[in-house]
A and B are shown apart, each in its own frame.
Chain A
C-alpha cells in the first residue's frame, strides 16, 4: 500500500517499522502452528530439526511417526499388511479408536447443540422475546464459566444424575451419553452466537410475505427461513463440532477408558511419554482446522451475499 505523500521522513520510517512489527506478530501467530508439519516427518525421535533435515537429506525425513499412529495398540503390527492387518488396525490401534470416539461424540454433540441452539436462536431473535438479555446471558455462559468448574459440577452430577429428584438411575460417568451431553452444552453458545448473528440480518417481513401467500409456519420455516440462515447454522455447527473435537477437560473428568478421544490421547502423550507421534497427530489436526476454516470463510461470504450485504 502506498504511503500518503504528506508524511515526513521520520513518519515514513515509522510506517515501515510498523509493518515489520505487524509481520513479526503474524509470524508469532502462525509459525508455531506450521512448525510441527516438517518436524512430524523427522526420522529421529527428536523435537528439533536434525542436521540431515536442515540439509534436505531425504534420509532425515520419514513417515515413521504416521506409521506409529496406525500400529500403536495393534495386536500384531509386524505382520504383512493385508486385509487382516488393516482390520486389526481398524479395531485395535489406539489412535484409530480415539478418532472414532472423537467423531462419534462430536457428531451427536453437534446435532444436539445445533438443533436446540437454532430453535432457541429463532425465538431469541424475535423482538417480542421476554427477558431476552437474561436468557441470552444464561445460554452463552457455558463459554464463559471456567471449564474446570463445569467439569467438576458434571462429575458429581453424573455420578448420581437422578439423585436430585430422589431416584436412582445409574451413572452417566464413563458413558458416551454423558460425554455427548457435556460437549453439547459447551458447543451451544457458539451455535447461539452464529445463528443469532445471521438472523439479525434476516428480513422479518419475508415471514409475513410467506404467511400472506398461504404458507403455514412449518412451510415458512423450511422454504423461506432455513435456506437463508443455513450458512449461519452450518458455521455454528462447525464451531460446535470443533469445540467437542478439541475438548479435553470434560473427557478427563467424565470419560472412562472406552471413551478416550484424540485430545485425551494427546494429553497423555504430552504429559507422559512425549513422542513425535504427537506431532504427526498435530499435523493432521492442523490440516483439519485449515479445511474447517476455509469452509466457514466460504459460508460467511455466501451468507453475506444471500443477505445482500456487500462483503467488506
Chain B
C-alpha cells in the first residue's frame, strides 16, 4: 500500500519512495528478460561473431614476412622511408635468409611480399635456397645472385611487408597497387578483376531482383484477391519451392536447361530450334539468373502478399466509381499502397542474391560466378588474407543493406510462410 509521507512523496508500505521501488522493479524485469536472451546471445557471439571477426582480422594482418625477417625489419625501423639499402641492410637480409632456410619459412615470407609486389615470391625462395653461400660483401653477393635485389620497388615491397598490419589486401581487392615511390595507383587495365566482379555481382543481383518483382507481383496480387480457401491452396505452390532443397531445385534446372535437356528437346520437337541450334542456357550467366530467380522468387512473393492482403478493395472500387480507368486505378491507387511490400521483398531478395554461392558455383559456368565464388577460390588457393579482405567488403555491403532493411521494414516483420 502506498502512503503519503509528511513531505508529500508517495512511498511503498515499507517506507521506500515509490519512484525508487518502481525503478528497482523495472530493473529486475529488464534483467530477467535479458537473462532469457543471454544464453543464445553468448552462443551467437562465440559461434558466429567471434569467428567472423577473427577471419576479418586476417584481412589486415599477415606476419609471413614480418615474423620471419626480424633483422631487415629492424633495419627498416631505424632507416626512414626512401633510404637506399646500404651494406648493413643487405647483411640483415642475408641473416634473415639464413634463418628462413633453416626454418623453411621462405615460402610464407615470399608469399607475403608477393601480395605487395607480384613475382617476388620466386626471387625470395630462390635466394633463400642458396642463403648459406652468401658472404660479405653482401650487397655485391645479392646483386650477383639477381640484379633485382638492387631494385627500389623490391625494397619498398619488403618495407611494406615488414609490418604485420597492412592495407595491401584491400588495395588488391580494389584493383590497386603501391608504386615504387609508395603512391597508390590502379593496376593495369588488363589485370583489373575485383571491381568488375563487385559491379557484376551487384548488377546480376539487381537484375534478379527486378525479374523476381515482375514475376511476384501478379502472383501475389492473385493470391491476395482470391477467396481464402483457394488462395491457401495456391499458396502451397509458392511454399513448395521454398521448402524444397536448394540442391534439388538446382539439379532440376540442370536437367531442364542443359544442352541435351528437357527444354531444348521440347523446343526441337516443336520445331522452334534445330538440333544443331540447341540453346545454351546453363553454365553461363543465363543459368545463374534463371535458377536464382526461381530460388528467390518466394522471398519476393511472401512479403508482397502479406501487404496486398491488407489493402481494402473498396479504394480501387471508389476510384473506378469516380471515373478512373483501370490503369489509372492501378497506378494511382493500388501500386502506391503495395510499396512497403515491394521494398521489403526487393531488399530481401537483393541481400540474399548478393551473397549467393551455391547456385553460381553449380550452374554459373565461367562468367556466372559471383563474389562469393571468388572468396571460395582464394580460400582454396590458401590466399586467406585476400579472401578475408573480399569477405570484409562483401560483408560491409550486406550489413548496410541489412541496416536499411531494419530501418525501412523492421526485422520483426520478417515472415516465413
Pair A293/B402 contact, Cβ less than 8 Å: no
Instruction: Chain B residues near A154: list those with CB within 8 A.
Output: 47, 51
A264 to B362, CA, bound (A): 13
Is the CB of B315 closer than 8 A to any CB of chain A? no
Determine whether the beta carbon of B387 is less than 8 Å from that of A152. yes
Task: Give the 10 A-B CB pairs with smallest separation, nearest first.
Answer: A146-B355, A123-B36, A157-B51, A153-B51, A120-B40, A123-B37, A153-B55, A153-B52, A32-B252, A129-B33
Q: Does A147 contact B (CB under 8 A)?
A: yes
Q: Measured between alpha carbons, how far is A290 from B241 in the docked complex, in Å?
A: 10
**Is there contact, CB below 8 Å, between A117 and B354?**
no
Q: Which of B16-60 contact A (CB under 8 A)?
A: 26, 29-30, 32-37, 39-41, 43-44, 47-56, 58
B416 A239 Cβ-Cβ under 8 A: yes
Query: Which residues of chain A in 142-169 are interfacial with respect to chain B, using CB atoms and an 8 Å cutoff?
Result: 142, 144-150, 152-158, 164
Query: Which chain B positions have C-beta within 8 A of A215?
Result: none
A148 and B249 contact, CB distance less than 8 A = no
CA gap between A70 and B239 in the complex, in Å = 30
Is B219's CB under 8 angstroms from A137's CB? no
| Binary B-proximity of A103-125 (CB < 8 A = 1, otherwise 0) | 00000000000001101101110
Which of B106-114, B179-187, B255-263 forms part of the interface with chain A?
Answer: B255-263
Q: Quick check: is A135 within 8 A (CB to CB) of the other chain? A: yes
Nearest Cβ on chain A to B67's Cβ, whole angstroms: 16
A167-197 at interface with B (beta carbon < 8 Å): 181-182, 184-185, 188, 190, 193-194, 196-197
- Contacting pair A148 B375 (CB below 8 A): yes
B251 touches A279 (CB 8 A): yes
Cβ of A141 under 8 Å from chain B: yes
Closest residue of chain B to A182, judged by CB? B47
Given the complex of chains A and B, what is the CA–CA distance between A286 and B243 in angstroms? 9
- Complex: chain B residue closest to A281, CB-CB: B248
Assess the A39–B255 pair: CB atoms within 8 A.
yes
A293 and B417 CA atoms in complex are apart in Å by 10
- Residues of A at under 8 Å CB distance from B? 1, 6-7, 11, 14, 18-19, 21-22, 25-26, 28-30, 32-33, 35-36, 39, 46-49, 116-117, 119-120, 122-124, 126, 128-130, 133, 135-142, 144-150, 152-158, 164, 181-182, 184-185, 188, 190, 193-194, 196-197, 200, 239, 242, 245-246, 248-249, 253, 263, 266-267, 270-271, 274, 278-279, 281-282, 285-286, 289-290, 292-293, 296-297, 300, 311-312
Whether the Cβ atoms of B47 and A181 lie closer than 8 Å is: yes
The residue among A6, A26, A142, A145 with the most chain B CB atoms within 10 A of its own CB is: A145
Judge whether B406 and A148 touch: CB under 8 Å. no
Least CB distance from B234 to A in Å reads 7
Taking a contact as CB atoms under 8 Å apart, the answer to whether A144 and B402 are in contact is: yes
A290–B244 CA distance with the chains assembled, in angstroms: 8
Chain B residue contacts of A135, Cβ below 8 A: 37, 41
Interface status of B351 (Cβ within 8 A of chain A): yes
Q: Judging by beta carbons under 8 Å apart, are A148 and B30 in contact?
A: no
Cα-based distance from A39 to B158 in the complex (angstroms): 60
Sample 7 A-B pairs with CB under 8 A, ordered by A number: A29-B238, A129-B30, A138-B49, A149-B391, A156-B58, A182-B47, A311-B232
- B255 and A19 within 8 A (CB): no
Bound complex: CA of A149 vs CA of B240, how far in Å? Answer: 28
Minimum CB–CB distance for A279 against chain B, Å: 7
Instruction: Decide yes or no whether B379 CB sits under 8 A from chain A.
Output: yes
A271 closest partner in B (C-beta): B362
Q: Chain A interface secondary structure, helix, strand, loop or mixed? A: helix
Residues on B lying within 8 angstroms of A by beta carbon are 26, 29-30, 32-37, 39-41, 43-44, 47-56, 58, 215, 218-219, 222, 225-228, 232, 234, 236-241, 243-256, 258, 260-262, 265, 294, 297-298, 309, 320, 326, 351-352, 354-358, 362, 372, 375-376, 379, 384, 387-388, 391, 394-395, 398, 402, 406, 411-412, 414-417
Bound form: Cα–Cα A46–B241 in Å = 24
Question: Which residue of the partner chain, among A137, A197, A248, contacts B358 with CB atoms under 8 Å?
Answer: A248
Given contacts A137-B406, A146-B398, A266-B251, contact A290 B240 (CB under 8 A): yes
Once A25-B215, A129-B34, A135-B41 are accepted as A-B contacts, the answer to whether A285 and B245 lie under 8 Å apart by CB is yes
**A residues near B294, Cβ cutoff 8 Å:** 28-29, 32
Bound-state CA distance A248–B52 (Å) is 19
Q: Provide the bound-state CA to CA distance between A38 and B107, in Å.
A: 54
CA distance A297 to B352 in the complex (A): 25
Give the nearest-CB partner of B416 in chain A. Answer: A193
CB-based nearest B residue for A311:
B228
CB of A272 to closest CB in B, whole Å: 12
Which A residue's beta carbon lies closest to that of B415? A197
Residue of A nearest to B321 (CB): A6
Question: Does the CB pair B251–A36 fall under 8 Å?
Answer: yes
User: Which A residues are CB-close (under 8 A) to B52?
Assistant: 145, 149-150, 153
Residues of B contacting A146 with CB < 8 Å?
354-357, 372, 394-395, 398
**How long is the Cα–Cα vector from A263 to B52 in the complex, in angstroms?**
24
Q: Is the CB of B240 within 8 A of A142?
A: no
Question: Which listed residue, A25, A137, A148, A200, touches B372 by the CB 8 Å rule?
Answer: A148
Asked if B26 and A156 make an inter-chain contact with CB atoms under 8 angstroms apart, the answer reads: no
Of residues B40, B44, B51, B261, which shows the largest number of chain A Cβ atoms within 10 Å of its Cβ? B40
Rounded to whole angstroms, the CA-CA distance of A312 and B52 in the bound complex is 42
Residues of A within 8 A of B44 (CB): 138-139, 142, 185, 188
Give CA–CA (A14, B215) in the complex, Å: 17
- Which of B40, B326, B375, B384 contacts A188, CB < 8 Å? B40
Contacts known (A18-B218, A141-B48); A270 close to B245, Cβ less than 8 A: no
What chain A residues lie within 8 Å of B48 (beta carbons)?
141-142, 150, 153, 185
Q: How far is the CA of A130 from the CA of B241 in the complex (A)?
A: 38
Distance in angstroms between the alpha carbons of A253 and B371 in the assembled complex: 17
Distance of A9 from chain B, by nearest CB (Å): 12
A26 and B398: CB pair below 8 A? no
On whether the beta carbons of B414 and A140 are closer than 8 Å, the reply is yes
Q: Which of A39, A124, A144, A296 contacts B351 (CB 8 A)?
A: A144
Closest to B42 in A: A116
Cα separation A137 to B44 with both chains bound (whole Å): 12
Most buried by B among A142, A157, A274, A292: A157
Q: Is the CB of A278 within 8 A of B251?
A: yes
Known: A33-B240, A193-B415, A293-B239. A270 touches B41 (CB 8 A): no
Interface contact B228-A312, CB-CB below 8 Å: yes
Min CB distance, A145 to chain B, in Å?
A: 6
A137 touches B362 (CB 8 A): no
Least distance between A104 CB and chain B CB atoms (Å):
18
Question: CA–CA, A181 to B260, complex, Å?
Answer: 41
Q: How far is the CA of A39 from the CA of B178 in the complex (A)?
A: 56
